[in-house]
Structure 1
Amino acid sequence: MVDTILNGLLPVAFVIMLGWLAGRIGLLKHTDADVLATLVIRFALPFALFEGAVKTSPDKLNNVAFALCLTLGLMGTYVTVLVVGRVVFRHDLRTAAMQALVCAFPDMAYFGAPILAAVFGPVGFLAVLIGNLITSIFMLPLTIVLTHLGGTGEIESGWQDVPHILGLSVARAVINPIVWLPILGMALSFSRITLAMPVLMSVGLIAKAAGGTSLFALGLMLYGERFMINANVLTNLGLKSSLQPALMALGVLFGVAGSPAHQAIITGAVPTATAAAMFALETKTYAANATATILLSTILCVATEGMLIAFFSR
């Protein structure tokens, strides 16, 4: 059990600290993380997901129950926090949507993928693959629409723009390599097409950069972030670390059990995605609370994931 926890978490914590240390001693600047993030999101991770899909049997990919489980955990958390933001904190729609994104968007790319791969092997990428499709096609476009409505002076005029904005955001998501490359890999798997070994080795070379580079970039991103605690941040931490894993656990309602259920719960327990803070900064909405939530949830997650791995390894 101890070996499983150390194998899953120690490499993650070590590489994050290396990234943080690189910023601390001035070897790299905080802004250099953007270059590393582009490498991961546009190249390494899409090919890692492609490789995982190609090497996964169609029987495992064709798992509707698992997809429904992840959808419930991701979108269920989003809707719940959206209501909490509006009713409890009295946020406007734009701010409530951003709070929902912060709580519901797990860091599957930077934090989740290395842990899932270490604990479950190549099949662990299935949760990242499907979860990424859900967030890219449903969660992010919905957030774009809600922030647009919350930022318009005339709600009626805002609603008229929704179909155009939704269509544009979905189109942008679909042509993103992190979406279409995994879909292509799934199509090849379902078609039972086996790629030549030189092709797989070429893909694998860039795919191997995803885990270490993403964690190093995360550490560099976290360096210099403001440490802040308030009611919003504490609520976000509570909902992210408890509500989302709990909703993932409800996958038993769809017949998800065993290793797939464990993958879903661990995915729900990873910290908030750094992309949520980038989105908040871009829209100038909820930025301070978003970055503070990411910082603290990343620290808290090391303990949370350790307990979950220990529990599932019994």
Structure 2
Amino acid sequence: MSNAILMALVPVFFVLLLGYAAGKFHVVDNLHVDALNALVMDFALPASLFAATASASRREMIEQVPLFMVLGVTMLLLYIVWYLAARRFFKVSRSEASLQALTIGFPNLAGVGLPIMTSVVGPAGTVPVAVALAAGSILISPLTLIMAEMGAAKARGEEMAARQVLTAVRRAITKPVVLAPALGIVFSLSDVSLDALAHASLALIGSSAAGVALFLTGAILSAQSFRLDWKIAAATVASDIVRPLLAVAVIRVIPIAPDAAKTAILLAAVPSGFFGILFAVNYGLDSARAGSMVIASTAFSVVTLAVVIAMFFPQ
């Protein structure tokens, strides 16, 4: 069991620390990671997710519906609770509260979830990651963009129009990392087999997704100033402990197969994602709080992921 945990976690955190060191020692420019981000989020990861979902049979894809529902409800509930708490108790703006809620509610499925799943369950783990990414991207990313747009409009002294809301939603759901698994799911449900040549072509660029995403996460984190206070500690508990426990509670309500339930809990235990940092940079907001949340959550997830793997994937 200990060997299985080491094999699952050590490579992931090795590449993560490699990216962190590369950014910290200025081997790569950790303040301008647009090129790396585009490679991962616009090319490598979409190719990997499309190839995985489009190659799945209709039956296999239909079996992923409960996973979509469990993780979607889990992420949405945690997002709403943290957003309301941040607004009421932390007295932060809508934009800041939504960025924090996105960071806590939406795990780092691209950077940590994908390599963890492929290590634990093999290549078949890519499909659940794609479904989980689709759930978060469809349900909570648009909410965050709408709140960020509302904050930007308020800063300009304007009221947010319905057109801006629709624009925010369109921007969220038309990103390649959202469209690719969605199109792959449609392709799979249509029961059309993906051509072997197309699969090989997509797999070539897609094979770099997990490693580069981890490296990118490390580089992004190396540029964030870290400060630990009770809010960061609470965010870490919410991300690494409450989220998987919430998934366990949701599983008791939504019928789901035992193997899929284990996968849902493992994906829910993945540490906080860096989308909140990227959104903060795009909207000119302070990314330090979200950065501290991601750093603390990622460091503590060494323990929580090891516990989840030992409990549900001992072999």
TM-score, scaled relative to structure 1: 0.91
| Higher-helix-fraction structure | 1
Residue of structure 2 in register with 1:21 after alignment = 21
Q: How big is the shift at 1:157?
A: 6.5
Q: Does 1:240 align with 2:239?
A: yes
Q: Does 1:187 align with 2:198?
A: no
1:88-103 matches, within 5 Å, as 88-103=89-104
| Residues 52, 126 of structure 1: 8 Å contact kept | yes
Q: How big is the shift at 1:289?
A: 0.9
Q: How big is the shift at 1:137?
A: 2.3
Residue of structure 1 in register with 2:268 after alignment = 268
Q: Structure 1 residues 151, 28: CA separation in 2 closer, same or farther (over 3 Å shift)?
A: closer
Q: Does 1:220 align with 2:219?
A: yes
Q: Does 1:10 align with 2:17?
A: no
Residue of structure 2 in register with 1:44 after alignment = 44
Q: How big is the shift at 1:152?
A: 4.8
Q: How big is the shift at 1:312?
A: 0.8
Q: Distance in 2 between matches of 1:129 and 1:247?
A: 21
Q: Deviations over 1:84-111 (max 9, x none)?
A: 1122223232322222112112111111
Q: Percent identity?
A: 29
Residue of structure 1 in register with 2:81 after alignment = 80
1:136-155 matches, within 5 Å, as 136-150=137-151, 152-153=153-154
Q: Structure 1 residues 68, 230: CA separation in 2 closer, same or farther (over 3 Å shift)?
A: same
Q: Which moved more, 1:114-123 or 1:72-81?
A: 114-123
One-letter code of the match for 1:16?
L
Q: Structure 1 residues 98, 21: CA separation in 2 closer, same or farther (over 3 Å shift)?
A: closer
One-letter code of the match for 1:232?
K
Residue of structure 1 in register with 2:228 after alignment = 229
Q: How big is the shift at 1:153?
A: 4.6
Q: Distance in 1 between matches of 2:51 and 2:247?
A: 25
Residue of structure 2 in register with 1:207 after alignment = 206
Q: How big is the shift at 1:143?
A: 1.3
Uncovered stretches (5+) of structure 2, i.e. residues with no partner: none
TM-score, scaled relative to structure 2: 0.91
1:164-179 matches, within 5 Å, as 164-179=163-178
Q: How big is the shift at 1:166?
A: 2.5
One-letter code of the match for 1:248?
A
Q: Distance in 2 between matches of 1:220 and 1:172?
A: 25
| Residues 233, 292 of structure 1: 8 Å contact kept | yes
Q: Distance in 2 between matches of 1:224 and 1:142?
A: 26
One-letter code of the match for 1:312?
F
Q: Distance in 1 between matches of 2:100 and 2:44?
A: 29
Uncovered stretches (5+) of structure 1, i.e. residues with no partner: none
Q: Distance in 2 between matches of 1:188 and 1:289?
A: 40
